């Protein structure tokens, strides 16, 4: 390499180093980047990484760089929107108020749940209560086909009466998520499902089909009773997560009702 090229290379290297140092000096502490002087905090990047990990992504440098680039782009766009005054329009202000309200509600409920955790004792007590309430119940193993219209359900019922396989038709024609398991819903007690279905289910003989399609908010239902037995209690460990979700929802409902009852509402 001749001396001239060496000097040019050195000059370029020094220029790049100076630019990098200037950039590092301009980036606020605790930030991963800044856009026109607005910091993008490390905490915001970390939060988005956690969300992606919870959705099955791996924490890699590539993931972090992609998220950082997205945060920079969003800040650039947000600044341009503000420069154009788009956030000042009445419709935008109304939407922003709703977004803020939703955010405030969510952080309030999350804070209440954090301060009032569902204890292991509460889970166990609710499990025992449910088991005691269902000990004399019958369990039913049910398969289901759901269609969007009554005409479709009637056509499928006619095919079933001619001997076609319920599981095969459920897999091919049902719009219910249970189609992935050939229509199998599993073991249920009557209280766990809609009365419109349970009232028919409890009167079917083993292997029996509903005599006509049953309308529910999900669509038109055909049910087959695969089997029935006296209630068999699940293990506490198997039931615990479902019980926790139920208690969390009840806790939220009761808290919201308490606040609503205290509020001075004029309608």
Q: Are strands 184-188 and 38-41 parallel, antiparallel or unpaired?
A: unpaired
Can you tell me the mean pLDDT for 31-38?
94
What does the alpha-carbon distance between residue 44 and residue 39 come to, in Å, rounded to a whole number?
Answer: 10
Can you tell me the mean pLDDT for 43-62?
94
Can you tell me the mean pLDDT for 180-194?
91
All CATH 3.10.50.40 domain ranges in the chain, comma separated: 136-230
Backbone φ and ψ for 265, nearest 5 degrees, come out as -110, 125
Is 128's pLDDT higher than 80? yes
**CATH label, 21-88, candidates 3.30.230, 1.10.8, 2.60.40, 2.30.110:** 1.10.8
Distance between first and last Cα of the chain = 84
Q: Assign a CATH topology to domain 136-230.
A: Chitinase A; domain 3 (3.10.50)
With pLDDT > 90 as the criterion, what percentage of the chain qualifies? 81
pTM of the model: 0.60
DSSP class of 206? T
pLDDT for res 26:
65
**Each residue's pLDDT tens digit, 70-81:** 999 999 999 999
All CATH 1.10.8 domain ranges in the chain, comma separated: 21-88
Is 5's pLDDT higher than 80? no
pLDDT for res 191:
85
Choice between 7 and 168, residue whose per-residue pLDDT is larger: 168
Can you tell me the mean pLDDT for 10-22?
37
Is 87's pLDDT higher than 60? yes
Is 103's pLDDT higher than 80? yes
DSSP lists the bridge partners of residue 139 as: 229
What does the alpha-carbon distance between residue 187 and residue 266 come to, in Å, rounded to a whole number?
Answer: 47
What does the alpha-carbon distance between residue 148 and residue 150 come to, in Å, rounded to a whole number?
Answer: 7
3-state secondary structure of 135: coil
What does the alpha-carbon distance between residue 264 and residue 111 come to, in Å, rounded to a whole number?
Answer: 23
What does the alpha-carbon distance between residue 126 and residue 244 come to, in Å, rounded to a whole number?
Answer: 9
Mean pLDDT of the chain: 89
Half-sphere exposure of 84 (CA within 13 A, CB side): 8
């Amino acid at each position: 390499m001749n001396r001239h090229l060496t000097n040019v290379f050195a000059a370029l290297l020094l220029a790049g180093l100076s630019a990098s140092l200037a950039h590092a000096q301009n980036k606020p502490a605790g930030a991963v980047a800044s856009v026109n002087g607005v910091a993008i905090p490390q905490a915001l990047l970390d939060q988005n990484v956690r969300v992606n990990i919870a959705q099955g992504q791996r924490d890699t440098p590539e993931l972090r760089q992609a998220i950082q680039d997205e945060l920079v782009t969003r800040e650039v766009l947000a600044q341009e929107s503000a420069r154009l005054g788009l956030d000042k329009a009445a419709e935008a202000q109304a939407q922003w108020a709703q977004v803020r309200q939703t955010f405030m509600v969510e952080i309030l409920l999350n804070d209440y749940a954090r301060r009032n955790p569902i204890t292991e004792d509460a889970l166990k007590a609710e499990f025992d209560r449910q088991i005691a309430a269902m000990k004399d119940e019958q369990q039913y193993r049910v398969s289901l086909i759901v269609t969007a219209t009554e005409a479709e359900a009637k056509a499928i019922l006619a095919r079933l009466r001619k001997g076609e396989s319920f599981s095969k038709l459920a897999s091919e024609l049902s719009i219910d998520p249970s189609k992935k398991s050939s229509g199998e819903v599993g073991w249920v007690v009557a209280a766990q499902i809609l009365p419109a279905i349970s009232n028919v289910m409890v009167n079917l003989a083993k292997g029996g089909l509903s005599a006509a399609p049953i309308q529910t908010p999900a669509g038109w239902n055909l049910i087959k009773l695969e089997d029935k037995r006296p209630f068999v209690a699940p293990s506490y460990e198997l039931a615990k997560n479902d019980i926790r979700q139920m208690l969390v929802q009840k806790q939220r409902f009761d808290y919201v009702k308490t606040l609503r009852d205290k509020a001075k509402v004029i309608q």
